[in-house]
Amino acid sequence: MTADVTVHLAALALGDDALVLSHRLGEWVGHAPVLEEEVALANIALDLLGQARVLLSLVGDEDELAYLREERAFRNLQLVEQPNGDFAHTIARQLYFSTYQHLLYAELAAGHGPFAPLAGKAVKEVAYHRDHAEQWTLRLGDGTDVGHERMARACEALWRFTGEMFQPVEGLDVDPERLQEAWLDSVGDVLRRATLTVPEGPRSGAWAAGAGRQGLHTEPFGPMLAEMQHLHRSHPGASW
Amino acid sequence: MATAAAHHTAQQTGPQAYGAQSGVPDTACGTDDTAAYQRAFDAAVAADERVEPRDWMPDAYRATLVRQIAQHAHSEIIGMQPEANWITRAPSLRRKAILMAKVQDEAGHGLYLYSAAETLGTSREDLLDKLHTGRQKYSSIFNYPTLTWADVGAIGWLVDGAAITNQVPLCRCSYGPYARAMVRVCKEESFHQRQGYELLLALSRGTPEQHAMAQDAVDRWWWPSLMMFGPPDDESAHSAQSMAWKIKRHSNDELRQRFVDICVPQAESLGLTLPDPDLKWNEERGHHDFGAIDWTEFWEVLKGNGPCNEQRMTQRRRAHDEGAWVRESAAAYAAKRNDEAGAGRG
């Protein structure tokens, strides 16, 4: 594959991660458990949407890519498309993803590849997202019994989507093995401090590890896209 | 009647507050002194000085402010709902980003306003409880539904436009923390109003379907927006006292007229029609005349019979109730850390 094509594939993978997670976080608006979290979750969603727009624009028209692709053409991780669930599920998803994204962007920012400028800017935002997820993991895990139980269940439930993050992505100049070790260290440390145990189950679905990156998604993704794309698709060619 | 709390508050008056500058007696107590405090308060308000949290203030002034600021804060957080209804369906990524930023601002306004209310000795928890149990209200405008994407534009242009017309004078409100919160709120609201106008302009100049969508939204939001200024002056329960206290600076009808005069040329630039056959320029008055407002609808919506009253409150209570375990766990975690810090010091 030519260099351009691999850069496009990588930009789609990272751009779709940011786009889809931003959308999921946007679903929280008006439903958050406390007013400060209305601000925080929307803020994280906005940061991710900003990243998505830059990344998708490297590939083509951002709106065509977001609104006119079919489900099988999206390259995001299955993790980010998982429904919000309760607040613990959202926080577990944030902890897993933002830790990955922070390590990945830090590495990309330090290199000289095509993603270095974006990663240099985004890594600062993502550091805040990671910190937000860590703080909440501690509050829920080491707060009340109910909080602990819910957080443990959420960490367990999403664990099987975490292996996909370390499948090699063409066009991304990072060592997935090293990334994975750093991720396990970092997430393990937060979970232990939150008095939670590191889940022991498999880190990929039984049928296809790395599936989201190849365009295989989970059932909740279709309805999400239907909602997201409906209005845009109802007015072909209109500008907004 | 003097209260111990009021006297105590007055004694804490700092050097920057009106009391110190106005020669309020700081030693004696009793009914005579309440009269003196009242005179000093009245003089400070008359001189356009700001009343600050530690200053003595009449109980009714405090209660009026709590009621108004709480209602304003509640309106910000309930007002997130009709717009959040479109975040997941926004038709372009640029519009999605703008809408999300706007709704996030509203949560932020809620935060400043609850904080301003806290300076009057009330807690956010208490105010939220009053909202959830129907003892405090939010602006009735948010009991109308957002049926199409154009409603996001109409809310920005008309609802936020009306809010700005109401709120700009509040930047000079006699109560300092409220006035300062409003300075920031108004800056952000003016961005919201512009994005709404620009959204409608894009629709109005777009396809025939988009233009029709914009016109339909304006048709539905125009009259409820005019109702946002409250009942006519002769039927407004709180207006006269609030004006005397300089919490309020202009009457409901004055502000409503100002808003109509601003909107008419903007509607023309948008290429949209305001749904009022009686709307016309009156040379003699130097203002636009406009048709009669259906106050029956206003009072019905206020009583709880609007299209979305039940839905808004149900969502609000559900978010609060479903979030209880999160807040409790966060509080328990904070308490453990405090205990550890205490043990560390001990």
The verdict on a CB contact (< 8 Å) between A38 and B210 is no
**Is the Cβ of B339 closer than 8 Å to some Cβ of chain A?**
no
Say what the ipTM of the complex is: 0.96
**Within an 8 Å CB–CB cutoff, is residue B91 touching chain A?**
yes
Cβ separation of A143 and B96 shorter than 8 Å? no
Q: Phi and psi at residue B250, in whole multiples of 5°?
A: -135, 155
Beta carbons of A25 and A87 less than 8 angstroms apart: no
| Cα A114 to Cα A102: distance, rounded to the nearest angstrom | 17
What does the buried/exposed string (b/e) look like for A155-181 if buried means 16 or more CB atoms within 10 Å of the residue's CB? bebbbbbbbbbbbebebbebeeeebbe
Angle at A223 between CA A222 and CA A225, to 5 degrees: 65
User: Cβ distance A92 to A154 under 8 Å?
Assistant: yes
Domain ranges of chain A: 3-234
CA–CA gap between residue B39 and residue B19 (Å, rounded): 10
Is some CB atom of chain A closer than 8 A to the CB atom of B23?
no
In this structure, what DSSP letter does residue B231 have?
Answer: S
**Nearest Cα residue in chain A from B78:** A30
CA A95, CA A97: separation in Å to the nearest integer? 6
pLDDT in tens, chain B (346 residues): 333 334 334 444 433 456 544 444 444 456 778 899 999 999 999 999 999 999 999 999 999 999 999 999 999 999 999 999 999 999 999 999 999 999 999 999 999 999 999 999 999 999 999 999 999 999 999 999 999 999 999 999 999 999 999 999 999 999 999 999 999 999 999 999 999 999 999 999 999 999 999 999 999 999 999 999 999 988 877 778 888 888 888 999 999 999 999 999 999 999 999 999 999 999 999 999 999 999 999 999 999 999 999 999 999 999 999 999 999 999 999 999 999 988 877 5
Which residues of chain B does A239 touch, with a Cβ-Cβ cutoff of 8 Å?
92, 202, 206
Chain A closest-CA separation from residue B323 CA (Å): 4
**CA B98/CA A26 separation, integer angstroms:** 12
CA gap B252, B254 in Å, rounded:
6
- Select from 3.10.20.880, 1.20.1260.10, 3.20.20.70, 1.10.20.60 the CATH code of A3-234: 1.20.1260.10
DSSP three-state, residue B281: strand
3-state secondary structure of B289: strand
- A91 to chain B, minimum CA–CA distance in Å? 11
User: Chain A closest CA to B187's CA: distance in Å?
Assistant: 18
| Facing residue for B328 by CB, picked from A49, A144, A238 | A144
Q: Could you say which of A29, A33, A239 has the minimum Cβ distance to residue B103? A: A29
For residue B267, the distance in angstroms to the closest alpha carbon of chain A comes to 19
- Whole-prediction pTM: 0.93
CA-nearest residue of chain B to A195? B333
